[in-house]
Chain A
Amino acid sequence: MTRPADIVSPGSGAPQAPRRKQRFLPNLFRTTAFKLTAIYLVIFALFAGFVLGYVAWNAKRLLDDQIRSTIDAEIQGLAEQQRLGGIRRLVNIIERRSRAPGASLYLVTTPVGERLAGNVEALQPGALDLPGESEIEYSRSSDALDSPSRAIVRVFVLPAGFRLLVGRDLEERDRLGVVIRRAAGWSLLLVFVLGCFASWFVARRVLKRIDDMTDTAQTIMAGDLKGRLAISGTGDELDRLALNLNAMLDRIGELMSGMQEVSDNIAHDLKTPLTRLRNRAEEALRTAQSPDELRGALDASIDEADNLIRVFNALLMIARLETGRINDSMAELDLSEVVSGLAELYDPLAEEAGLEIVTEVTPDLRVLGNRELIGQALANLIDNALKYGKPTGDAAPVVRVAAGVVGQQIELSVTDNGPGIPEADRGRVLERFVRLDQSRSKPGFGLGLSLAAGVVRLHGGQIRLEDNAPGLRVVMLLPEAPPKPVETAGEGALPASTAQTNPAGLQSA
């Protein structure tokens, strides 16, 4: 694939490659995937730490309990022996037990603190003064005094002031603690490393797809309008985004080709009369013998120019309609009056063409709209009907102009009994400059229907071409004006009689 950066800055291809590699890492920290993974990682590590801590604390407590109950049991047993056999017997038992492997800690002292028996060589000072349970430091042999061990001990005061100390070394428990801590450390490290790896993997995947999208977008911007974003097929958010962007690109493409078509049409349909105009002037210059001939050629040229101006005006108007920004000049208007007036305006023309205009107009139809635009649209339809609607068979030579309410809408229709338009062409004739072959011989530019369609769309209505069998029926559906609460007569609602005092016709605003 061509990289867009090459297209954007041609001739600087060499420095592009390192830049592309460089940008990955800094970008990684900025990606959403990375941020999300980091957050999950921290949460997961906290959670794991909490669980391990809880396990460790529980294990310690369990061991401590076990130690305590062992000590209690031994003390009770030894106290019993002392009660039965006196201190001597106790000393003997302790001497014996002290030598057993893995023995508990024992110490028997006189009331003044002299050691009588036991396997404890040194104690932290004052340990014997505290009856009950405590955690202390001790040594088993005199040569290990420097590195004391830890133990849980219990001191029991025997009758006559002798003291008995029984304890258990804590090395085992501490070793377990170390094991658990180490396990916790390793798990956290593992979580972190795996998490980092996963985040890098996920972020890279997402980043790569987004980078691909960016690249495609750049190629499209650089002029490859056919380019489309890749769809992975998983139907995830990125796929949906890509699908939507592709649909948007398709729509833009349609509009672009529409524009292209229009400008081609304009070029063709305006070039033809311009060429005619030019040829006529040239020929007059070359051949005209008398001022009258020159005058005639000039008159014809002016007519041709006027026609061109009309095409331009119609095109501009259609373009304006398509941008849909004339809300300023919308006002409530009496459509019935517009329709009847137009039918009357065209009546003599129809008569000349051997046709009759029949009107079926429901009175007082109110529409929110631009009177001139609706009038122009309807005039175009009537004009078309008069031009092309002459019956070929024995149908009545009638053009029917009707306006009435259908549901919530106002239906405006112009119907003729002429040859009609084949169904396949009905959508096409609404486009600009489309003229059917049968009509090529008649004057016109193929803009009338597209202008009408533009007007109807602008008013939020619909236009339909129907078969009148025989003939064509063009239907414009316009939304009915909402009923007005108060008589707020805008400029559009002024009575028509003001035309006398105001020749400029402000009331048609």
Chain B
Amino acid sequence: MRLLIVEDDAEAAAYLVKAFREAGHVADHAADGLQGYAMAEGGAYDVLVVDRMLPRLDGLSLIRSLREQNDATPALILSALAQVDDRVKGLRAGGDDYLPKPYAFSELLARVEVLSRRRAAPASEPTTYRVGDLVLDRLAHRVTRGDSEIPLQPREFRLLEYLMKHAGQVVTRTMLLENVWDYHFDPQTNVIDVHVSRLRSKVDKGFEHPMIHTIRGAGYMVRDTTR
């Protein structure tokens, strides 16, 4: 994956470039908004990571300008502003995701990988997700593993659906809270863990190979370990 990091703080940028490279991605760095715009314009990147406050051209204007050029490269906005409606403004400007500073790198990485995958994915969602012997039928609202059907509550179904949609990718707790429950606030406690462990007890209990894996310090991942 090719990434462009538009960040004016040299130290933070160097850290991000290094960390993304260690995670196996190609990361370039632009130090201000105009340079970022010039580099992103060709569409050579899979994902843009844009700081909101930048010299010469601020992050939101950068993304807005790209969108006006019909450039749909997924963009994630990093922001040190903690305003309540900050995220909404970022998304309205054409950003695809939003992460307030300070953030955990694992969170950023997971979100960027999901964004890049979304770009590569076909326009229409498949009606069935399949990971190993675990099958989720989105139309029939049925989950089967091998020959047995797994009965799930509606919310558990949506949780598994999101995990399977991003199979092979790390999905953080915040991403689950945002996408499965549509909440964008701090739930104070490990609510998501409890939900995942319930789901896990239904999906993985009694099977030799677990499907739902905990990624330490990051989140969860659905993955077929038999292959």
Contacts and interface: CB of A to CB of B under 8 A. Distances in A.
Interface of A: 299, 302, 306, 309-310, 313-314, 316-317, 320-321, 326, 328-329, 341-342, 344-346, 348-349, 352, 370, 372-373, 375-376, 379-380, 383, 386, 444, 448, 491, 496, 499-500, 503-509
B188 A503 contact: no
B82 A349 contact: no
Nearest to B115: A503
A24 to B, nearest CB: 53
A349 B198 CA distance: 11
Contacts of B187: 345, 379, 383
The 8 closest A-B pairs by CB, nearest first: A329-B85, A376-B185, A348-B194, A316-B82, A383-B188, A509-B88, A326-B84, A503-B179
B155 interface: yes
A506 B182 CA distance: 9
Given A306-B104, A383-B188, A503 B82 contact: no
B102 interface: yes
Contacts of B183: 341-342, 345, 372, 375, 379, 508
Interface in B64-115: 82-85, 88-89, 91-92, 95-98, 100, 102, 104, 114
A506 B198 contact: no
Given A345-B187, A383-B188, A504-B97, A317 B181 contact: no
Contacts, number: 104
A370 B97 contact: no
Secondary structure of the A contact surface, majority rule: helix
A86 to B, nearest CB: 124
A348 B91 contact: no
B191 interface: yes
A341 B181 contact: yes
B217 interface: yes
A500 B82 CA distance: 26
A484 B70 CA distance: 36
Contacts of A380: 188
Contacts of A306: 104
Contact of B84 (A299, A317, A491): A317
Given A383-B189, A509-B88, A503 B194 contact: no
A306 B89 CA distance: 25
B182 A326 contact: no
B9 interface: no
Contacts of B180: 499
B202 interface: no
B194 A373 contact: no
B182 A496 contact: yes
Nearest to A351: B194
A505 B185 CA distance: 12
Nearest to B161: A500
Contacts of A342: 183
Nearest to A384: B188
A508 B217 contact: no
A345 B102 contact: no
A499 B179 contact: yes
A317 B175 CA distance: 21
A320 B82 contact: yes
**A314, A321, A500, A503 pick with most chain B CB within 10 angstroms:** A503
